[in-house]
Amino acid sequence: MSTRVAENAGPEGTGRLRVGVLGARGKVGAEVVRAVENADDMDFSAGVDQGDAVAALVDSSTQVVVDFTHPDVVMDNLRFCIENGIHAVVGTTGFDEDRLKTLRGWLADSPGTGVVIAPNFSIGAILMMRFSAIAAPFFESVEVVELHHPTKADAPSGTAGRTAELIAAARREAGSAPIPDATSTGLEGARGADVDGVRVHSVRVRGLVAHQEVILGGLGETLTIRHDSLDRVSFTPGVLTGVRKIGAFPGLTVGLEHFLDLG
């Protein structure tokens, strides 16, 4: 099985990338289509949404697919892309360790094909996650509050889950004590979800787009790290970076930070 990205494709070479979008009529997918159409080094090859034939991606010689669909369908989409040697830049949420293991298995049979899964493509959110991981070992307490529009299918958000995992890993590495919490009675859900020992609270309110606060607390002080996506266009520069770089990253990458020079 061969990859569909030519060696000279992308900004470093002479070719233009042929980019398809899965979920092209969705809230984020529609923004991605616009961004691809406006990019100097890309051609929009195919848009596939609910009910459309995914074969259009092969028929249109798509080299890189961007997926913003739904957690229930994204694995089938990725199996199709990997089997056809099409690189994938994935924003859709819902990936656990089992799914990542399955993807690694499929990718092993399609050497040269790359998949990047990013819980969040906005640069501000990526930095918010990084800053939170840096700060977490310096404070006794830390909790995550994510706030989204009420049409969101998953809770907690992929970003919040990833943030909690990064915080937990940083605290483990630093030998931090468990986060204090004397709650012994209360309504189910009142303390949020437990992700790797970090409490994560999900708010769904009409009018919101995508927001997150990480609240850290120590003796006599708190630090709040907040990020707001005010418009879904915030995800598109990161998506285009993923599209441009994925050809150089065969196999599975989790997190766009691996494509950025964050130091």
Ligand X SMILES: O=C(O)C1=N[C@H](C(=O)O)C[C@H](O)C1
Ligand Y SMILES: NC(=O)C1=CN([C@@H]2O[C@H](COP(=O)(O)OP(=O)(O)OC[C@H]3O[C@@H](n4cnc5c(N)ncnc54)[C@H](OP(=O)(O)O)[C@@H]3O)[C@@H](O)[C@H]2O)C=CC1
DSSP string for residues in 142-183 = EEEEEEE-TT---SS-HHHHHHHHHHHHHHHHHTPPPPP---
Nearer to ligand X, 152 or 191 (CB): 152
**Could you tell which of ligand Y, ligand X, none binds residue 69, using a CB distance below 5 to 8 A set by kind?**
ligand Y
- Contact present, 224 and 213 (Cβ < 8 Å): yes
Catalytic residue among 70, 87, 148, 201: 148
Reading the block at residue 120, the tokens are 């969040």
Among 120, 132, 202, 253, binds ligand X (CB under 6 A): 120
Contacts with ligand X, 191-210, as mask; x by CB under 6 A: -------------------x
Q: Is 32 annotated as a binding residue?
A: no
CB of residue 247 to ligand X, shortest distance in Å: 24
In terms of Cα–Cα distance, which of 246, 207, 237, 235 is closest to 85? 246
Here's the x/- map for ligand X, 126-165, by CB under 6 A: it reads as ----------------------x---x----xxx------
> How far apart, in Å, are the Cα atoms of 46 and each of 15, 60, 89, 100, 240?
18, 6, 15, 26, 16
201 is catalytic: no
Catalytic residue check, 148: yes
Q: Could you say which DSSP state residue 11 is in?
A: T
Strand partners, 195: 198
> Binding site membership: which residues?
23-28, 59, 91-93, 118-121, 149, 158-159
Which residues are known to be catalytic?
148, 152
